[in-house]
Amino acid sequence: MNLTEPFSWLVHLITLFLLTISIVAGAVAAGNNVILKPSNDVPFSSTLLEDLFSRYLDPAVVSVVGPRVPGDGIDVMTALLAEKFDFIFFTGSTRVGSIVAQRAGAKLTPYALELGGKNPVFVTPTADLQIAAKQCIWGRTLNSGQQCIAPEYVLCHHAILGEFTFELKCWIAKLISDPYSEGCMGQLVGGGSVARNATDRAVRFLDKIGTAGEKLVCGGGYRKELGMIEPTVVICGWDSELMQDELFCPILCVIPYHDLKDTAVMVRFRPKPLALYIFSRSTIEQRTVLDNTTSGGVTINGVIYHAGHSSLPFGGVGESGSGVYHGRHTIDCFQHKKPVLKKWRGVGDVGIISDPFFIYGPYRNGGMKTKLLRLVGYMS
């Protein structure tokens, strides 16, 4: 018999509104009590979460902490991690995720981490370039690029580089004709200090274009007062500063490649991404990338879709996280599978089957007990 039981008390450290609702729902459905610490980078959403949960749910089941505490939230998070919980779920950066993992490890607390990273897109010569370009622009500008599964950079075969970048520019013009208009692309969000301000951070990335041979294809503009930058496409190399950290804004890097397998191997030796995307009509090319890379999940001939499929587990690997959830997998994430075996006793067999004599010592090499034990071992 295999029983599942809730972890009981878990703490949930997270940024995004929609993710918060779905994960808390799964944790409660699994039988847990939840302490939720939303991000201070989204104060209005965090305050709304606190109001909604306190209004509709018993605070003994779900409690929200931190939204009305002044500061950047680090003090609240530090205080929470000093406590002993049965499970920790964290969504955020790899840097903070490593801190959460260290604090959890010190108390031997199990955890799940959904982090991020630089998600690559492979565009091969057999790809439908219109679909590839449209999907890349859609995925990169959705929520202004502020998604852990957004395409970060494109590895495009050198023979189709010109045609592909032309398609990128066309789809930006069609999908994001005026990036500064309300509701077109969304604002960059992030705290008040210069170090944490998302718009200032994105502008610093724009300022790096051209410093190491990068070529601006389109975009590059911004309006700080609106917290927005234009969809920007940059051709660059592996050594560009734009390829060092997760950008988390609508800047799309394009790197030309010559050999698909060699390029896939290069991706494999970089920090493992949360998502990976392949645009190719060739099954051989698709398998070449899949067999030579590691990532949390993959969509072929599209972006983001695998994360929206409720039947598929979603999660990272290595630097992009650990543990999986979504749909039924969310409940499984927050439950412990406890095996239970019940032995039959007093069934009238005089112990021949229910309590066989040969499981007890002493044993002699070549003796009957030893032979019977080996026979049972072969049969099991």
Q: Hey, which residues are catalytic here? A: 114, 148
Q: Respond yes or no on whether the N-terminal peptide bond of residue 313 is cis (omega within 30° of 0).
A: no
Distance CA 149, CA 309 (A): 14
Catalogue the E-assigned strands of the chain.
2-6, 9-14, 33-38, 62-64, 87-91, 111-114, 119-123, 151-157, 215-218, 222-223, 228-229, 232-235, 251-257, 275-279, 297-300, 321-322, 335-339
Distance CA 163, CA 140 (A): 19
If one counts every other C-beta atom within 10 angstroms of the C-beta of residue 43, the result is 16
Residues 49-61 as b or e (16 or more Cβ within 10 Å = b): bbeebeeeeeeee
Q: What is the signed CA dihedral for 299, 158, 247, 50, rounded to 10 degrees?
A: -20
Structure tokens at 278: 């392949």
Residue/partner pairs of 21-28 with CB below 8 Å, 24 or more apart: 22/326, 22/330, 23/89, 23/91, 23/325, 23/330, 24/53, 24/62, 25/330, 26/325, 26/330, 26/331, 26/333, 26/334, 27/89, 27/330, 27/334, 28/61, 28/62
Contact present, 123 and 154 (Cβ < 8 Å)? yes
